[in-house]
Amino acid sequence: MITFAPPDSSAIPLHVIDADDMDGIPAPHRAWALTCGFKGASGVTLAIPNPDGTVAAALVGNGSAASRRRTRFGVAAAARKLPAGTYALASGLTGDALTETALGWLMESYDFHRYAKPKSDPARLVAPEGVDAARLEAIAAGEALTRDLINTPTSDMSPADLESAARTLADRHGARIAVITGDDLLTQNFPMIHAVGRASATPPRLIDMTWGTEGPHITLVGKGVCFDTGGLNIKPGSSMGLMKKDMGGAATVLGLAHMIMALGMPLRLRVLIPAVENSISANAFRPQDILTSRKGLTVEVNNTDAEGRLVLADALAFACEEETALVISMATLTGAARVAVGPDLSPFFADDDNHATALATAAGRVADPVWRLPFHDPYEDMIEPGIANLDNAPSGGFAGAITAALFLRRFTDKPYIHFDIYGWNPTAKPARPKGGVGMGARAILDALPDLLKL
C-alpha cells in the first residue's frame, strides 16, 4: 500500500527551489549547493551532508516557470533520486502545487512487483501540512490498482481474473456485484458482448458492480478487452504487443471506483465492464457478419479489430435502461485518438458544454490533462452502411475517434461522456513510470461535484 510516512520529528528537511530563485536555498546550505552546481532544474536533487556523512537536509529543483508548464510532478521525481529515508517538505510550495507534489510523490513510489522485486525503495514523505492526506492516499491507491491491472499480462488477467479483481474491490468496500457469463449473455440479451468473446477459451462476461444508497446516480462503463488479437482481421505482431492493455478502460473505471468508494462520496455508483478476449477460433465472429445489439440496432462488422465499440454498445444500452444522472465510458478505443493528441492527453467527448467545462477545469487543478473532441453530427452518415443500421469500422480512415464516439452515442439516451484513452506511458516520467497508467480518472473525480451537483 502506498501511503505517506507518519509524522516524524527526525524527518529530513526537504527544500523545493525554483530555478530562478537561488536565494530560496537556506543560507547554511547555499555555499554547498553552489559548489555542487545545483541550479534548481526540475527534479534535480542534492543531499546536504552532516559531518558524519548522514543527510542533514535535501534540495530538489522546481525548475523555471517555463519548464513547469512542460513537466507535471517534476518535484516528485525526488522520491527515486534521494537517499532512502523519511523527508518532510520544509519550504518552497503552497496551494495546488503542494498538493500536486504530495500526490506525485505517492505515485512516484509505485512499483509493479508481481513478477520481480523492486530494484530500490523510494524515499518516503511525511504528509505536508495543508493537504488532505487521506484523499491523496485514496487517489494514489486507485491509480496503483489501475496500473497493476494494466501491467498484468493476460496469462494472469483474463476476463475471469478481471472479474476476480472487481469482486475483491467490491468486497473491500461493501459493494454489490453480479456477473453474467458465457451463453447466459445470449439468453439475457447481450449478443455483441457474446459475439466478440465467444472464440476465447475464457468465456466472455458482463461485470455489474453497484455501491451507495443515496445521492445522484452515475454509471461508469469500462472496456474490458483483456487481449485483442484483432480477431480474424488479425493484428500484425508490432500492433499486438501491447494488447494486454486493451482492458485499460476497465482498469481505469475500477481505479476511479476505488477512489469514489474510499472517499465515501455521497452518490450511487454503478460500474459495468464487458470483459472479453478477442480471439481466433472456428466460432470467431467474421467480417461482414451483421450483429443485432441489445438495443435492437443492427451492426455490420467490417473489421473484427473494431470490437471494443461492440462490447461497449451492449453495456451502454444496459446502463441506460435505468435512471442515471450521467454515463461515462472509458476505453482504449482508437489509434486515431492517439494520433490526434498523443499518449499524454485524455481525449473526451461530451454533448453538454457544462460537463466539458467542469472536466477541463478540474483537469487543470489536478494535473490530469484532458482535451475535448467533438461529437460532430455531420459525420453520422459515415457510420451508416446501408445494409445495417450501423458500421463498426467505416472505410476511408477519416475521423476514426469521432466516428467511434458517434457509434457509441447511438446506444445512449442519458447524459453521456466518452473517454478514448491510451492507458500506457511509453517512457518513464515523474510520477508515471513506463507502463500502465490511469488517464482522466483524477479529472473526473475532481469534477464530480460539478457534474452531479453534489
Q: Is 87 helix (H, G, I), strand (E, B) or coil?
A: strand
- The whole-angstrom separation of Cα 291 and Cα 297 is 8
Angle between helix axes 441-452 and 133-151 (nearest 10 degrees) is 130
Q: What angle do CA 271, 273, 278 make, to 5 degrees?
A: 170
- 429 as an active site residue: the answer is no
- 309 as an active site residue: the answer is yes
Q: Are 242 and 293 in contact, with CB atoms under 8 Å apart?
A: no
Of 80, 309, 409, 410, catalytic: 309
- The whole-angstrom separation of Cα 181 and Cα 199 is 14
Scan for cell 521525481, then name that residue: 77
- The whole-angstrom separation of Cα 51 and Cα 263 is 45
Of 235, 338, 365, 372, catalytic: 235
Q: Are 30 and 56 in contact, with CB atoms under 8 Å apart?
A: no
One-character DSSP codes across 278-339: E--STT---TT-EEE-TTS-EEE-S-TT--HHHHHHHHHHHHTTS--SEEEEEE---HHHHH
Active site residues: 235, 309
